[in-house]
Amino acid sequence: AAAGDENDVVVIGGGPGGYVAAIKAAQLGLQTTCIEKRGTLGGTCLNVGCIPSKALLHSSHMYHEAKHAFPHHGVQFSDLKIDLSAMMAQKDKAVSGLTRGIEGLFKKNKVTYVKGYGKFISPSEVSVDTPDGGSAVVKGKHIIIATGSDVKSLPGVTIDEKKIVSSTGALALTEIPKKLVVIGAGYIGLEMGSVWGRLGSEVTVVEFAPDIVPTMDGEVRKQFQRMLEKQKMKFMLKTKVVGVDTSGEGVKLTIEPAAGGEQSTLEADVVLVSAGRVPFTDGLGLEKLGVETDKIGRITVDKKFMTNVSGVYAIGDVIPGPMLAHKAEEDGVACVEFIAGKEGHVDYDLVPGVVYTHPEVASVGKTEEQVKATGVAYRVGKFPFMANSRAKAIDDADGIVKILAEKETDKVLGVHIMSPNAGELIHEAVLALQYGASSEDIARTCHAHPTMSEAVKEAAMATYDKPIHI
Ligand code: FAD
């Protein structure tokens, strides 16, 4: 459809929520247009989020392994070096290949792609400021807002993407900082801190809260923090940044205890601000339309993703729920299924969460703290990777599987894995929870030997009985 023709569905935003919704809508036979201002598709995730961070995590892990692990495996060489620009080029190649891939998928599925900034004129019309300076009107019976999120700024801390960077700047540094201070111990801060720590930066993480990654199971979190400390990451918890001075060569941060008290200074070459993300709806014209948002700017939607304005929907990071790419995708599919008159479904209790450090930490379902809070009697089964043959064979055995199951029925309530590739291992557990499996169901499922996955089976055994290998 040319811009101006009536569409069944118009999607504003081409991130994982928006582009997946657009493709699914087209597959359901709906005439669909997707509007994206960035110049490339894939949103935060592909351009400045999930994908470039995982590229750098992998490259930096290879360097770290070559330096610290290879000798144990009898692989020796001299003169190990980092070519940062080659590392960045490989990351950029991954990103551009994938974003172009989505353009290909749009063509294949006959989704019209309009580049430019979208603004509501009415509940069924969007004006687009196109990159050539012109404008177009795109009409649609149903309009989906998938405009995602942006970096949350901290009062008094101005991001210049050079000395004081957001995650976007931290993905594109041109030099390895000697000292990196990370403000915020969420998964983005820990992942980016890991990248630069592995490449040689001294990393200090300053966090206002008493804990890192607050959503994580407490016991796993403690072990995880110890792991990161072993990798020389330093933590200053219950600490707040109250001042920033960039007048000198580096950055001087003034910090004080979260509860108030004596101030001190912390020096850095680069400061990463990773204190969360906020929904992005700037310039969209929501007020004009009367679309309701909550206190923190998230668009309010009903069970079918419709806002209070009929025909206008919202999905992904711009609505409540975990700000994760796969959650945005699930929203997108379910939303267009509803639009097409079918049933859509997202189980928000079973969205897996992964921190892609080394080891990775992955979880699904409830933490032990959450299970306790429900008051239900439960059992815990644990199995350490130190007792897993594959982990020992590859000499990468730091980590644990922890399974929580209801005492009476043995139904699995939550699974938490810390290990290399935990982000892959977790999906067996996601499926188990999705199907309402018991821990005995997992334990009686044959797992190939020798694999890391056997640790999941043994933790399941430990939940209602005894594991074999410990
Ligand atoms: P977005 O991806 O933010 O896409 C929204 C798009 O809308 C943007 O491209 C924007 O340009 C466009 N847009 C906005 N307003 C307009 C407008 N008015 N007109 C036209 N276009 C507009 N999630 C994971 O699941 N796994 C990870 O490993 C992971 N790693 C991350 C690492 C980092 C450093 C960051 C920052 C995020 C990471 N995330 C990760 C989170 C993930 O990127 C987001 O949850 C996901 O991108 C949300 O998808 P979305 O489609 O809702 O929004």
Q: Is 449 a catalytic residue?
A: yes
Q: Using a 6 Å cutoff on CB, does residue 42 contact ligand 1?
A: no
Instruction: Please tell me the distance from the alpha carbon of residue 344 to that of residue 34, in angstroms, as a whole number.
Output: 20
What is the mean pLDDT for each group of 10 consecutive residues in the chain (470 residues)? 75 98 98 97 98 98 96 94 98 98 98 97 96 94 98 92 97 98 98 98 98 97 98 98 94 97 97 97 96 97 98 98 98 98 97 98 98 98 98 97 98 98 98 98 98 98 96
Q: Using a 6 Å cutoff on CB, does residue 148 contact ligand 1?
A: yes
* Residue closest by Cα to atom 18 of ligand 1: 118
Q: Using a 6 Å cutoff on CB, does residue 323 contact ligand 1?
A: yes
Per-residue model confidence (pLDDT) at position 48: 98
- Rounded to 10 degrees, the C-alpha dihedral 236/239/244/250 comes to -10
Residue 283 is assigned to a ligand binding site = no
Instruction: Please tell me the distance from the alpha carbon of residue 204 to that of residue 194, in angstroms, as a whole number.
Output: 11
Q: Using a 6 Å cutoff on CB, does residue 35 contact ligand 1?
A: yes
Cis peptide before 420 (omega within 30 of 0): no
> ipTM strictly over 0.90?
yes
Per-residue model confidence (pLDDT) at position 262: 97
Asked whether 28 and 336 are in contact (CB, 8 A), the reply is yes
- Closest of 71, 84, 2, 53 to residue 188, by C-alpha: 53
Please give the model's pTM, rounded to 2 decimal places: 0.97
Query: C-alpha angle 204/208/209, rounded to 5°?
Result: 110
Distance 347 CA to ligand 1 centre (A): 20
Distance 127 CA to ligand 1 centre (A): 22
**Can you tell me which atom of ligand 1 is nearest the CA of 13?**
7
Q: What is the 3-state secondary structure (H, E, C) of the chain?
A: CCECEEEEEEEECCCHHHHHHHHHHHHCCCCEEEEECCCCCCHHHHHHCHHHHHHHHHHHHHHHHHHHCHHHHCCCCCCCCCCHHHHHHHHHHHHHHHHHHHHHHHHHHCCEEEECEEEEEECCEEEEECCCCCEEEEEEEEEEECCCEEECCECCECCCCCCEECHHHHCCCCCCCCEEEEECCCHHHHHHHHHHHHCCCEEEEECCCCCCCCCCCHHHHHHHHHHHHHCCCEEECCEEEEEEECCCCCEEEEEEECCCCCCEEEEECEEEECCCEEECCCCCCHHHHCCCECCCCCECCCCCCECCCCCEEECHHHCCCCCCHHHHHHHHHHHHHHHCCCCCCCCHHHCCEEECCCCEEEEEECCHHHHHHHCCCEEEEEEEHHHCHHHHHCCCCCCEEEEEEECCCCEEEEEEEEECCHHHHHHHHHHHHHCCCEHHHHHCCCCCCCCCCHHHHHHHHHHHCCCCCC
Per-residue model confidence (pLDDT) at position 1: 45
| Tens digits of residue pLDDT in 264-310 | 999 999 999 999 999 999 999 999 999 999 999 999 999 999 999 99
Residue 230 is assigned to a ligand binding site = no
Cis peptide before 384 (omega within 30 of 0): no
**Can you tell me which atom of ligand 1 is nearest the CA of 54?**
28
Q: Using a 6 Å cutoff on CB, does residue 10 contact ligand 1?
A: no
Q: Using a 6 Å cutoff on CB, does residue 184 contact ligand 1?
A: no
Identity at 403, one-letter amino acid code: I
Distance 279 CA to ligand 1 centre (A): 10
Q: In Å, how far from its chain's centre is CA 38?
A: 20
Residue 60 is assigned to a ligand binding site = no
Q: In what order do the strands lie in the sheet with 164-165?
A: 164-165, 270-273, 179-183, 202-206, 234-236
Distance 81 CA to ligand 1 centre (A): 33
Distance 183 CA to ligand 1 centre (A): 21
